[in-house]
Structure 1
Amino acid sequence: MSNARKRLKIEAPKLPAELSELQIPERLHTRDILELGIVQDGVIEDQEASKVIFDGMRFRNVTFTSVSLRELELTDVIFEKCDLSNADFSGAVIHRAEFHSCKMIGVDLSDATLRNVLFEDCLLDYANLRASTAKHVVYAESSMNRSDFCMSKLAKTEFHRCKLDGAQLGTELKGIDLSDCEFNGLAVKPEDLKGCIISREQAFIFASLFGLVLKD
């Protein structure tokens, strides 16, 4: 079990021990369902559909190119060493999913609903999570520079050793622990920081952001 999951109890994907290899159709259509299979060492490209369902799936070393799957439904899915950069998954519903060592630069998860999701060792720079809703979500040892969480809802969401430089955190951060994350600056309002947990060193960064002068 991942060390990250031990900190916050999130449900792991429920997958059979053995999965048959699947081929993605040349063209996905609205409400297509792919289930109980593994897709690996390939490219999924030029796909545009809505409300596609992936259920009980594992993706390993798969590159998603020019993919727009809005309102995608992911349940019991694992992505390993995949490239999902710039994929449009806006409005997705993601439940019991894990992303391990994935490249997700600029991925669009705006308006998404995330439940019991783990992002571990992922590259999420410029990721769009605006207006998303998260509960029991862990971001661990991931780069999230200039990601966008504005107007999102973060319930029981944890960040462990993440890089958040320039991230837009325009949302309530009460109870969110950023103390072991790295950043030189954040886009955040003072009122959103109420109840946020930060380190002493980070307090100096925020003081500088808000024009405060600290004296010894």
Structure 2
Amino acid sequence: MVVGVPQDPSQLSYAHRLEPFAGRIEREETYEWIRFEGEVFDSADAGSCRFGESVFSSVSLDRTRLRRARFDDTWWHTPRLVGVDAAESTWLDSTITAGVWAGVEAHGAEFRRIVFHQCKLDSVNFRATDLRNVTFVDCLLRDVDFGQSTLTDVTFPGTTLDRARFDRAVMSRVDLRDAAGLEIASGVEALKGATISTTQLFELAPALARQAGITVKDH
């Protein structure tokens, strides 16, 4: 459980305004106070749509286009996003719990005040993305690419990073100390601006030495 994060949609300030989704998704439309429950969107086009104060429960999005879409104060539970194009999308004040993101293209996107809780992110492209006040809690991040991204006030409590990439990323007040696992495939030099534990430092020492051009050899 994440302190301060609604565990049920009934706890949301806008719960009394929610209406069940009916119809179809149309690009460039605005959707407010909508409850999407059990919906399956396959190859849908929600490009440039705005979703405000809405709930997504057990929703599946396969090969759906979310390019330049905006999600403002949304609550997600057990969503499944596979092969989704979310490039240049904007995510504000939202919570995503027990979600699966696989092969999601989120390059050039913006994430502010977002909580990922018990999510699995596999091969997600966060390149050139702006992440501010983002928390990954008890998540698995496998082959996630943060290359050229800006990470500010980002934390990873209980989260395993498996083959993460940080090439040319810029970090400020990034805290990795509570990560359950930290394996960096490339971009270890971008950890400037991050805080790691002593144990993590020893684990990353070989990669740091290689980056610095240091040869470590015992007699």
TM range (shorter): 0.7 to 0.9
Is the Cα contact below 8 Å between 2:165 and 2:184 reproduced in 1?
no
- Measured in 2, the distance between the counterparts of 1:214 and 1:172 equals 31
Is the Cα contact below 8 Å between 1:4 and 1:140 reproduced in 2?
no
Task: Name the residue aligned to 1:2.
Answer: 2
Structural mapping, 1:59-78, within 5 Å: 59-78=56-75
Q: What is the TM-score normalised by the length of structure 1?
A: 0.86
Task: Name the residue aligned to 1:29.
Answer: 26
- Measured in 2, the distance between the counterparts of 1:30 and 1:42 equals 17
Is the Cα contact below 8 Å between 1:13 and 1:77 reproduced in 2?
no
1:53–1:184 Cα change, 3 Å: closer
Is the Cα contact below 8 Å between 1:185 and 1:205 reproduced in 2?
no
Matched, 1:200 2:198: yes
1:96–1:214 Cα change, 3 Å: farther
Q: Cα offset for 1:214?
A: 9.2
What is the one-letter code of the residue matched to 1:196? A
- Measured in 1, the distance between the counterparts of 2:60 and 2:217 equals 48
- Measured in 2, the distance between the counterparts of 1:101 and 1:153 equals 25
Contiguous gaps of at least 5 residues in structure 2: 6-10
Deviation per CA, 1:21-73, whole angstroms, max 9, x where unpaired? 11250xx3331111112111231112124211111110101111120121011
Task: Name the residue aligned to 1:8.
Answer: none
What is the one-letter code of the residue matched to 1:34? Y
The partner residue of 1:175 within 168, 173, 176 is 173
Structural mapping, 1:179-194, within 5 Å: 179-181=177-179, 182-190=181-189, 192-194=190-192
Higher relative contact order (CA 8 A, sep 6+): 1
Q: Secondary structure at the match of 1:206?
A: helix
How many residue pairs match? The answer is 206
Deviation per CA, 1:78-136, whole angstroms, max 9, x where unpaired? 11011012211110011111100001122221101111111110011211111011212
Task: Name the residue aligned to 1:15.
Answer: 14
Task: Name the residue aligned to 2:98.
Answer: 101
Q: Secondary structure at the match of 2:160?
A: coil
The partner residue of 1:82 within 79, 84, 99 is 79
1:54–1:129 Cα change, 3 Å: same
Structural mapping, 1:100-139, within 5 Å: 100-139=97-136
What is the one-letter code of the residue matched to 1:172? V
Overall identity of the aligned pairs, in %: 22
The worse-fitting range, judged by mean Cα deviation, of 197-206 and 58-67 is 197-206
Is the Cα contact below 8 Å between 1:59 and 1:78 reproduced in 2?
yes
1:55–1:195 Cα change, 3 Å: closer
Is the Cα contact below 8 Å between 2:100 and 2:119 reproduced in 1?
yes
Q: What is the TM-score normalised by the length of structure 2?
A: 0.85
Is the Cα contact below 8 Å between 2:164 and 2:183 reproduced in 1?
no
